[in-house]
Amino acid sequence: MLRKIDWDSQVGRRLRLRDLHVFFTVAQDGSMSKAAARLGVSTPTVSEAIAGLEHGLGVRLFDRGPKGVEPTRYGDALLKRTLIVFDELKQSIRDIEHLADPAAGEIRIACPLAITLTIIPQILDRFVKQYPRVAVHLDEVTPSSSQHDLQDLRDRKYDLVLGRGASLLAEPSVDDLNIEVLFNDQLVIAASPKSKWAARRKIDLAELIDEPWIMQGPQTWNYRNLAEAYQARGLVLPKAGVTTLSMSVIRHFLSDGQFITSMPRSVARFLSLKVLPVDLPARPWPVFVTTLKHRTPSPVVARFIACARDFTRSMREDRTTRASS
């Protein structure tokens, strides 16, 4: 039976932040020698620090093998909390920097392509003008990597993740996350202002069946919702003349007014396309900002989220107006 660990006598008075840093580095590198090289100390020094931790805790933290070391279940438990400890320390340094210079700091963001093409540039334009000394690190990610991105958020690689889609909101595995919906997007049919359809005040879905369409693949939200709209009317889904996920290709084929497409209203808005007056079933597609529930955001992160809320207010109001009209 595992003996009870006495915090005051065994750990509290002996545990050093340096030893936890050594432990964390070994866990990351999977090797005592690699960790030693990265820390700029000798391998025996690293081994001594790990042995001291194991002695104080009374458990083995690593399994040693010919290819290196791997955390035991006890090591995994300590690693999870150590990650939080170091993240909170980094956050405290950021808070101190903020107190010294309220307009400085850094923020790390992940978001998919559709958002980097539409609302992110607009939000960032406002944000960097207000806080020019804030360093913004933005990673563009693919929609299919959303679970991986959330794990990166949990691992403190990102301060926040901007995303879209309704499925995430219903998952039980996100209880540790704050998910704030900025606005609900909606599928629309769009075309160039040059299109012959642009001046029409009312268009029926059936009229568009034989038109040249550019579509995204069957795995996308756009395609699935368009297919459901046609199916609900008992109509055959139009055949795509071009199928692509490339926004630059979509913009090219729409530019001369020949093609039409389906896309979120926010994308059509920022691409300056004409939203055609076609009735489609309401299928809200939330755009949200995600942060860790038990991680207090730095002042800079809080200001960025406030800027995102402020910018997307018109989209929320626009949607509310359309729903009530």
Residue 1 scores a pLDDT above 50? no
276 vs 1, higher pLDDT? 276
Predicted local confidence at residue 3, as pLDDT: 52
Interval 135-157 mean pLDDT: 80
CATH 3.40.190.290 is held by the domain 187-283? yes
Q: For 2-10, what is the mean pLDDT? A: 53
Q: How would you list the strands of the sheet with 104-112, edge to edge? A: 133-141, 104-112, 160-164, 285-292, 177-185
What is the arithmetic mean of pLDDT over 146-158? 81
Could you tell me what percent of the chain has a pLDDT over 90?
46
pLDDT in tens, 271-287: 899 999 999 988 888 99
Domain with CATH 3.40.190.290 in the chain: 187-283
Confidence of residue 320 (pLDDT cuts 50, 70, 90): very low
CA dihedral 228, 234, 239, 243 (to 10 degrees): 0
> Domain spanning 7-83: which CATH class is it, in words?
mainly alpha
Number of H helices, E strands in the chain: 11, 12
Rounded CA gap, 231 and 229, in Å?
5
Measured distance CA(79)–CA(66) in Å, rounded: 22
Between 20 and 262, residue with greater pLDDT: 262
What pLDDT shows up at residue 143? 63
> Looking at the chain, which residues constitute the CATH 1.10.10.10 domain(s)?
7-83
Whether the per-residue pLDDT at 324 is higher than 60: the answer is: no
3-state secondary structure 137-194: EEEEECHHHHHHHHHHHHCCCCCEEEEECCHHHHCHHHCCEEEEEEEEECEEEEECCC
Average pLDDT over residues 148-171: 81
| Res 325: pLDDT | 45
Percentage of residues in the chain having pLDDT higher than 70: 87
Encode pLDDT of 22-75 as tens digits: 998 999 899 999 999 999 999 999 999 898 888 888 889 999 888 889 999 998
What is the model's pTM? 0.65
Q: 64: helix, coil or strand?
A: strand
Residue 172 has pLDDT above 80, yes or no: no
Quick: pLDDT tens for 174-184: 788 999 999 99
List, by residue range, all CATH 3.40.190.10 domains of the chain: 101-185+286-324
C-beta of residue 63 within 8 angstroms of C-beta of residue 72: yes
DSSP output for 248-297: HHHHHHHHTSS-EEEEEHHHHHHTTPEEP-B------EEEEEEEETTSPP
- Give me the pLDDT at residue 206, please: 95
Question: Which residues, in sequence order, are CB contacts of 143 under 8 Å at separation 6+?
Answer: 112, 113, 114, 164, 165
| Contact partners, residue 20, CB within 8 Å, separation at least 6 | 53, 82, 85, 86
Q: Does domain 101-185+286-324 have CATH number 3.40.640.10?
A: no
Q: Among 17-26, 203-212, 228-237, where is mean pLDDT lowest?
A: 17-26
Residues 6+ apart with CB under 8 A from 103: 130, 131, 132, 133, 134
